[in-house]
Amino acid sequence: MRFEAIIFDCDGTLVDSERVGNAVIVDCAQELGLSITIEEALEHFAGRKMADTIDLIAQWLGKPVPDWFLPTIRQRMAFAFEERLTAMDGVHELLQKLLIPACVASNGPQDKMQISLKVTGLLPYFDGRIYSAYDCGSWKPEPGIFLFAARSMGVNPSACAVVEDSPLGIQAALSAGMTPFGYTPDGDDARLAIGDTRTFTDMSSLHDLLR
């Protein structure tokens, strides 16, 4: 392979968590009197750090959210993930075939990723190589989380492939000087066709793309 390491986003790339997690946000927002659909939540919140999501909800409400809001979201998400979370189709098979080191780099906190990867059986593939934006203080679309992951693995950024499902993640990978691959299981390739990003809809095809 022409790459020395591959960096995976977590939510929506390795684990099918975007719809599950955003459904929790929708329910909590409704308790504040804000009515939004799951489609609207996915459009505006997917790939964002939670602080930005909270700020946007407060903006729509026209007032700050109460102190209980964020802890409640985190708690309910953890329960929802343990009950309903699954790995994206083909991820286990792909990881079993990889010949280069792989890691996870996400805007989410460590405890959320640990739960997601453990519940879906993916944790053994990445144990010790799970990097959070909270660890380095840089959130996508800033490149810092990817540069932090590459440095931690001892790999030059230019030798890293990045697998992402959001425009924010693609922008971060490009800014880091890495090669992004846009995962679009819904077939909406145009959403991630940023720069020279290669898009794909099936995890089983990624192994060949990496060559």
Q: 9, 11, 16, 165: which one is catalytic?
A: 9
The size of the chain, in residues, is: 211
CA 172 to chain CA centroid, nearest Å: 12
**C-alpha span between 84 and 72 (Å, rounded):** 18
Which are the contacts of 63, defined by CB distance < 8 A and separation ≥ 6? Answer: none
Cβ pair 133, 49 in contact under 8 A? yes
Task: Please indicate whether residue 9 is annotated as part of the active site.
Answer: yes
* Active site (catalytic) residues: 9
